[in-house]
Chain A
């Protein structure tokens, strides 16, 4: 469509490169979650079995996912998953997905550089680290393999810990300070700047008020020019906001998705690909970035 609708809002936004693909500022991408865990909070091991996980990949690709995000360690505290075990869970699977889908963008959800390295060898395009680069060697792996890197805000918390009495003078200021510093550091370590995203990391190192605040002010992240990834799907801040149990958070998830999209986020990590795709297409059409699928009403 034309520049009229949103050129001001997307000005300064850069092309995002993931794998062999390039995505413009007006494209809103769905990153489908595929867990190789027996105990992740939402799906509770539904794709623990490798064939079930591959079925999930087939399904989400069919539903229009742009990226699959494969992880072997839940974010929540729990039984330790060693590096060897994480590799065992994810590396052969990433290789299998790469073989099945040479073009799909593969993201890997890990914070450990050893795992990340094996995953990059197996074909991963993006290292999705939710823990604020706790492992300082992640950027060098991304740089070495030409992979992308997600620079997220966990408020300085170690991996797999929950926030406890966290406080911020200004949570968005902290998000910006930390994620931009991580992005700059990644660039200095040789990561391709067009492959770096920033992520406020809802719920990570944040109480519900903080997550609502970073959602409300997400535009401040988009204004930096770095592509923004959000991961809100079924998270606790939605549950607490709506007093909704784990099975009751889809409407809240989609509402938060729409607001983030409106405010400039470009990648959306999601469990429900079809609904997320519809929300993003609707927002894109409202913004004037995407033509309606089929318009006849009043035009005959």
Chain B
């Protein structure tokens, strides 16, 4: 059987995806619904394994039963992750939660990619994911610039909008070539922490041109988010 990528779900690694973190106000339920929908699509695409990919300090594979340490963001919520295994990096922790919430019980690979990993290494990591099994699903936890406006976490950078627009165009059209050529320095300056993860995605779906279903696109809090489902094709 020819290995296939069943598809890639894309969600932003924003802590506020965790419902409890926004307090009594759901704040942005539509974003959570969009993420739930794309992850549900992923689970229903019939993967034998799902790889969760996100940028973090270092490139590593994390314990599949790892969890997000919500208490790191909201100590009052308790549930501090204890034990020998360190808590998951934010993107992987959120991704793992999304899989749990979608009812996914199958095998998962939690793969972080170092934020400073050069493009070639990211692409290689992505290509490697294709070898995980005959039917591999991807959950890519990545977003755009956190410098979209004066109220953004990183304040305004006039280059941010164009950067994010290019990102959205690539995903929307399913043409991932521009992701391979993402400017790492520019991404760093624009606080686009997901750059390395985007390039892992590009490596994993190399050469594919698939129109995405975009369920969310925007920068409601000054950080550019996409929630999208990229259907896969045989590799």
A residues touching B (Cβ–Cβ < 8 Å)?
1-5, 285, 288, 290-296, 298-300
Contacts and interface: CB of A to CB of B under 8 A. Distances in A.
B16 interface: yes
A300 B73 contact: no
B27 A294 contact: yes
Contacts of A300: 14-16, 146, 153, 220-223
Contacts of A290: 24
Q: For chain B, what secondary structure do more than half of its interface residues adopt (helix, strand, loop), or is it mixed?
A: loop
A188 B14 CA distance: 57
B235 interface: no
B14 A3 contact: no
A2 B77 contact: yes
B128 interface: no
A299 B73 contact: yes
A291 B20 contact: yes
Interface of B: 14-16, 20-25, 27, 73-80, 146, 153, 220-223
Given A293-B24, A294-B24, A4 B16 contact: no
Contacts of A293: 23-25
Contacts of B76: 1-2, 4-5, 285, 288, 291
A4 B23 contact: no
Given A292-B24, A293-B24, A299-B15, 20 more contacts: A1-B76, A1-B77, A2-B78, A3-B78, A5-B76, A288-B76, A291-B24, A292-B23, A293-B25, A294-B22, A294-B24, A295-B16, A295-B21, A295-B23, A296-B16, A298-B15, A299-B14, A299-B16, A299-B21, A300-B220
Contacts of B24: 290-294
B202 to A, nearest CB: 25
A291 B25 CA distance: 9
Q: For chain A, what secondary structure do more than half of its interface residues adopt (helix, strand, loop), or is it mixed?
A: loop
Contacts of A1: 76-78
Nearest to A2: B78
A4 B15 CA distance: 21
Nearest to B26: A294
Contacts of A288: 75-76
**Which are the 10 A-B pairs with shortest beta-carbon distances?**
A2-B78, A300-B221, A288-B76, A4-B78, A292-B23, A294-B25, A299-B15, A299-B16, A291-B23, A295-B23
18 contacts: A1-B76, A1-B78, A4-B80, A291-B76, A293-B23, A293-B25, A294-B25, A294-B27, A295-B16, A295-B74, A296-B16, A296-B22, A296-B221, A298-B153, A299-B14, A299-B22, A300-B15, A300-B153
Nearest to A290: B24
Given A1-B78, A299-B73, A300-B221, A294 B23 contact: yes
A287 to B, nearest CB: 8
Nearest to B23: A292
Contacts of B15: 298-300
A3 B153 CA distance: 32
Contacts of B78: 1-5
A285 B23 CA distance: 10
Nearest to B221: A300
A294 B16 CA distance: 11
Contacts of B23: 291-295
A296 B16 CA distance: 7
Nearest to B18: A299
Considering residues B20, B25, B76, B223, which has the most beta carbons from chain A within 10 angstroms of its beta carbon? B76
A17 to B, nearest CB: 25
A59 B14 CA distance: 40
A295 B24 CA distance: 8
A69 B222 CA distance: 47
